[in-house]
Amino acid sequence: MNKPRRHYCHVCGGGILREKDEEGNERDFCRPCGRFFYENPLPVVSAIVTMDRWFLFVRRGRSPYRGMWCLPTGFAESGESIEEAVLRELEEEAGIKGKIAGLVDVDSYRSRYYGDLLFLTFEVEQTGGILRPGSDTTAVRYYPPDELPRIAFPSNRKAIEAFVRSKADYWAIVDSFRQSVGEGSEGDRRNLLSDRLVGVIEENAESIARIWMKEALTSRTTAGYHLFGRERLFGDVLNILSRFSAWLGGAREDADVKDFFSALGRQSRGEGVPLSHVLSALSLVKKHLWEFALSRGMWQKTLDIYMALELDRRIVIFFDRAVFHATQGYEAGED
């Protein structure tokens, strides 16, 4: 359905001259007034309100698209700002008050009923009110992003997709953080962002081991290993890196870490390596793991920075346990 044609000037009542050219554009024109008439898109506002990442929808009670679902949506009115309009529509259609968190999307849309529309969609945080249908809606409810209803306006779906993309890294960080501080041992945890680095560490374990050997065989703090064969040392540090990688990926339990490093401490004492040199060697492995992570350029995006910091935290946790159990094993070897 197209907009009705303009026949008379609303200022002087004179007849309208159709399609007079103005700077290459055909526009309605009133000859007596010398006035052009412009067909501008109507501003429409929509609100994205979420609860635990579910989206608030209202079911339309009037045409067009009666019975279909949409975000709280309506026309901006004269005398109000766009921000005031979206908060008003949210309260009228869903019963809740809110505050604007930010602009999400702007989209042009041609409606059969209203002609050209300009959709402006805002993220809104609820501050009060009671969730209930309004005069133009028959139901309100939240939907998860993977089970959205049939949406009346394509611009609503486009805005939701833009919103999800904008939140993807933030949600990934929140999920990983919650998982990392949840109950259970570190080895029991899954789906942390830093798990993505397991394969990277495994693929580069030999390079990290060679860098470690270069320092360990020249540092005075690891002099107890200077007489060890290079092949033996290389195998030992690869074994430590393998244990860390397996623990990082959840394939090794805390009990495995305890058994391995307790045995390492007992063996080191039996071979006459001073405890301080054992601990220094483990500290060097931790150092070169972290320096390797930094060398991978993991500081480009917020998600990369979080992943690197999460990895650093897990490196510290693992090697703190390694040092503790190696020390216990070393001391037990005195008996």
Question: How far apart are alpha carbons 245 and 195 in whole angstroms?
Answer: 9
Given a cut of 70, is residue 33 above it in pLDDT? Answer: yes
Choose which CATH entry (3.50.50.60, 3.90.79.10, 3.20.130.10, 3.40.1160.10) describes domain 44-171: 3.90.79.10
pLDDT value of residue 187: 41
Average model confidence (pLDDT) for the chain? Answer: 86
The fold for domain 186-332 equals Globin-like (1.10.490)
Residue in the structure block whose two tokens are 């990934």: 172
pLDDT value of residue 190: 56
Average pLDDT score over residue span 43-55:
96
Query: Is residue 93 within 8 Å of residue 74, measured between CB atoms?
Result: yes
Architecture of domain 1-39: Single Sheet (2.20)
What residue segments make up the domains of the chain, in order of their start? 1-39, 44-171, 186-332
Helices 205-216 and 275-295, packing angle to 10 deg: 130
Question: How far apart are alpha carbons 220 and 313 in whole angstroms?
Answer: 28
pLDDT value of residue 311: 82
Give the CA-trace dihedral at 217, 220, 222, 224, to 10 degrees: 90
What is this structure's pTM?
Answer: 0.64
Q: How confident is the model at residue 37 (pLDDT cuts 50, 70, 90)?
A: confident
pLDDT value of residue 313: 84
Question: How far apart are alpha carbons 319 and 241 in whole angstroms?
Answer: 11
Task: Answer yes or no: same fold for 1-39 and 44-171.
Answer: no
Question: How far apart are alpha carbons 332 and 84 in whole angstroms?
Answer: 72
Q: How confident is the model at residue 297 (pLDDT cuts 50, 70, 90)?
A: low
Return the ∠ at Cα 205 (arms to 203 and 208), rounded to 5°: 130
**Which of 32-41, 140-149, 181-190 is least confident?**
181-190
Given a cut of 70, is residue 244 above it in pLDDT? Answer: yes
